[in-house]
Chains A and B, each alone.
Chain A
Amino acid sequence: MERDNNDPVLAGLKIDHRSGRPVYAQITEGIKALIYGNRLKPGFQLPTVRALAEALDINPNTAARAYRELERDGVINSRVGRGTFVERLDKAEGEKAVELRLKELELEFQSRCVELGLNKAQFLDYIRKGQGGK
């Protein structure tokens, strides 16, 4: 199944299968970060487990576990026969999720730099030059 780029969850969730962090935790943190960043508002209907699993190429049980964790934290609410909806998110929870996502990004950034044989300064220089070009 192709990713639905109009769906803020499917388009916004970035999963790194090579990161040491379990995929279900990446999903819960990703959804929390999307809510914190106002990309998902209370009442928004999340994709089904199957749709999420297919879009991320993961086991449906993993997607279900992520939803269960979010529901336990009161972030989403599942209504039988209707679907799963965004409920609310504590500010502190949101900040924590964003911090964890940033940490993930930093690790990925470091590993890509190693892969390309670049140091941090060289990479940042490249970004600055790119922005200057624009």
Chain B
Amino acid sequence: MNKIKEAWAMVKLSGRVLGRNPFLVAYILASGLGVSVLFGAALTPVALNLNSGNTQFLEPYANVLPAQADRKKLTDRIEPHWAPLGATAAAVYFAGTLIIVFFNVAFLASVKRIINGKKVTFKEGLGLAWERRGAVLQWALFSATVGVLINALKGYLDNWLARRVLGLAELGWRLAVFLALPVVAAEGLTPLQALRRSGDIFRKTWGQTFAGGLGIGAFQLAVWLLVGVVPGIVLFYLGLYNTGANYGLALAGVGWMPLSLILIGLVGESMLMVLRMVLYVFAVEGVVPEEYKEQECAWFVAPRA
């Protein structure tokens, strides 16, 4: 019961921190934009070639098409391209992970300053992540490698039990990452040290972690139903049945539902990110963190004579 109360206090704090510092969402947007630009840049040559009708460059990879009969011949042609293709894909994947980790660390480091009663701007947050650049780079490399391994194994395993075991391992990995990144942001540890610390933190906060995560998930769902689904259905109904055939209104109703889901998802993701740092502070300091309120601490704030 205590764990649920503490989790609720931490979820409320996460909401307040985000409400008073909406610029935090910009880190998630910037990371999304960065990854989009990166993948866009990586895929543009392919798109340009396709657009100009040049499909010759695709020939080495044609074995993905089942219609091609002569697999041996194709494999021989593909062989020399595997290494550069694999290296390019790995480099793009790593760069994407690096962008995400960097902005996440900037977000988490900013949250730590905010809940410690300090002011921070978007630019200062980026500076805090830059101070941790070594740890960020190592974590991105480590996490990209684990991500690739998990995905590769998923493709190879066809045994039911093995797939379930891999699923559990993936869940464990996601949980470890959930609490390890605040450690990287706050302490700048190496990946293995951060993983070990995240294990310690999880042992202390598992109840609050699950309850807090579920709380934010339930909050997202409730808000989406209220702000996204209900108005969407009403607009759809009004468009089709009430005001004559106003298809624009009906379409807006249909469009609003996924759009609101994305917007609420963005807010929920940001709240979850704040919660990650709040959980870290709770585990390390032993106290549910609170925003600093001068009046409530009046006893202890009198200046020295």
Contacts of B284 in A (CB 8 A): 17, 22-23
Q: How far is the CB of B279 from chain A (nearest CB, A)?
A: 13
Known: A17-B187, A50-B292. A83 touches B304 (CB 8 A): yes
Query: Is B87 in the interface zone, CB < 8 Å from A?
Result: no
- B285 contacts partner chain A, Cβ-Cβ < 8 Å: yes
B128: interface (CB < 8 Å)? no
**Least Cβ–Cβ distance between B184 and chain A, in angstroms:** 13
Are B187 and A60 closer than 8 Å at their CB atoms? no
When C-beta atoms are compared, the residue in chain B nearest to A23 turns out to be B285
Residues in A with CB closer than 8 Å to B290 are: 59-61
The verdict on A53 contacting B289 (CB below 8 Å), with A45-B305, A48-B302, A83-B303 known, is: no
Select from chain B the residue with minimum beta-carbon distance to A50. B301
Complex contacts, B285 vs chain A, CB 8 Å: 22-24, 58-59, 62
The residue of chain B having its C-beta at the shortest distance from the C-beta of A76 within the complex is B300
Q: CB of B286 within 8 A of chain A? A: yes
Residue in A closest to B278 when the chains form the complex, CB atoms: A59
For B197, what are the chain A residues with a Cβ–Cβ distance below 8 Å?
A: 18
Residues of B within 8 A of A25 (CB): 286
CB neighbours of A59 from chain B (8 A)? 115-117, 281, 285, 287, 289-290, 292
Minimal Cβ-Cβ distance residue in A for B117: A60
Task: For the complex, give the distance between the alpha carbons of A25 and B285 in Å.
Answer: 8
Most buried by B among A17, A25, A65: A17
Bound together, the chains give a CA A45 to CA B304 distance in angstroms of: 7
Residues A57 and B116 in contact, CB atoms below 8 Å apart: yes
Is there contact, CB below 8 Å, between B286 and A62?
yes
State whether A64 and B186 are in contact (beta carbons under 8 Å apart), knowing that A24-B287, A53-B117, A58-B285 are contacts in the complex. no
Nearest CB of B to A27, in Å: 9
Query: Is the beta-carbon distance between A23 and B286 smaller than 8 angstroms?
Result: yes
Q: Number of A interface residues at 8 Å Cβ cutoff, please give it.
A: 31
Classify the interface of chain B: helix, strand, loop or mixed: loop
Give chain B interface residues in 168-201, CB to chain A under 8 Å: 186-187, 197, 200
Q: A16-69: which residues lie under 8 A (CB-CB) from chain B?
A: 17-18, 20, 22-25, 45, 47-50, 53-54, 57-65, 67
Which residues of B in the span 21-75 have a Cβ within 8 Å of any Cβ on A?
none
What is the size category of the interface that chain B forms with chain A?
20 to 34
Residue interface bits B229-273, CB-to-A below 8 A is 1, else 0? 000000000000000000000000000000000000000000000
Q: Can you list 15 A-B pairs, Cβ within 8 angstroms, ordered by A?
A: A17-B284, A18-B187, A18-B197, A22-B284, A24-B286, A49-B297, A53-B292, A54-B117, A60-B116, A64-B300, A78-B299, A79-B302, A81-B302, A83-B303, A84-B299
Additional 19 contacts, C-beta under 8 A, given A18-B197, A23-B285, A60-B117: A18-B187, A20-B200, A24-B285, A48-B300, A48-B302, A50-B117, A54-B118, A58-B285, A59-B116, A59-B117, A59-B287, A59-B289, A59-B290, A60-B292, A62-B281, A63-B300, A80-B302, A82-B302, A83-B300
Binding site for A on B (CB under 8 A): 115-118, 186-187, 197, 200, 281, 284-290, 292, 294, 297-305
Q: Taking beta carbons and an 8 Å cutoff, which residues of A are in contact with B?
A: 17-18, 20, 22-25, 45, 47-50, 53-54, 57-65, 67, 78-84
